[in-house]
């Protein structure tokens, strides 16, 4: 079973969580505000490897947190 570590509650089964999205990071080379907004909202990178993600502990503290997961191995790198 895949476990996720909630910063408030500790390690819990994956089923207790809701996946939010990839934590959007807009490249600094995009400087125009409108283009930054478009990139933030619509341009998904679909990264293979370590990825920042938003997760919601739905069955516990009901708080959002940001976690770093390796999408190739499902290893949690940093929470």
Instruction: With H, G, I as helix, E, B as strand and everything else as coil, classify residue 12.
Output: strand
Instruction: Please state the closest distance from residue 28 (CB atom) to another protein, in A.
Output: 31
Question: Residue 8 interacts with another protein (CB under 8 A)?
Answer: yes
Question: Residue 74 interacts with another protein (CB under 8 A)?
Answer: no
Between 63 and 72, whose beta carbon lies closer to another protein? Answer: 63
Question: Residue 27 interacts with another protein (CB under 8 A)?
Answer: no
Instruction: With H, G, I as helix, E, B as strand and everything else as coil, classify residue 42.
Output: helix
Between 24 and 60, whose beta carbon lies closer to another protein? Answer: 60
């Amino acid at each position: 079973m895949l476990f996720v570590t909630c910063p408030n509650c500790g390690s819990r089964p994956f089923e207790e969580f809701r996946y939010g999205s990839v934590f959007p990071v807009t490249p600094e080379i995009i400087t125009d505000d409108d283009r930054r907004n478009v990139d933030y909202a619509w341009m998904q990178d679909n990264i293979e490897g370590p990825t920042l993600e938003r997760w919601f502990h739905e069955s516990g503290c009901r708080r959002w947190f940001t976690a770093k997961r390796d999408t190739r191995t499902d290893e949690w790198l940093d929470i």
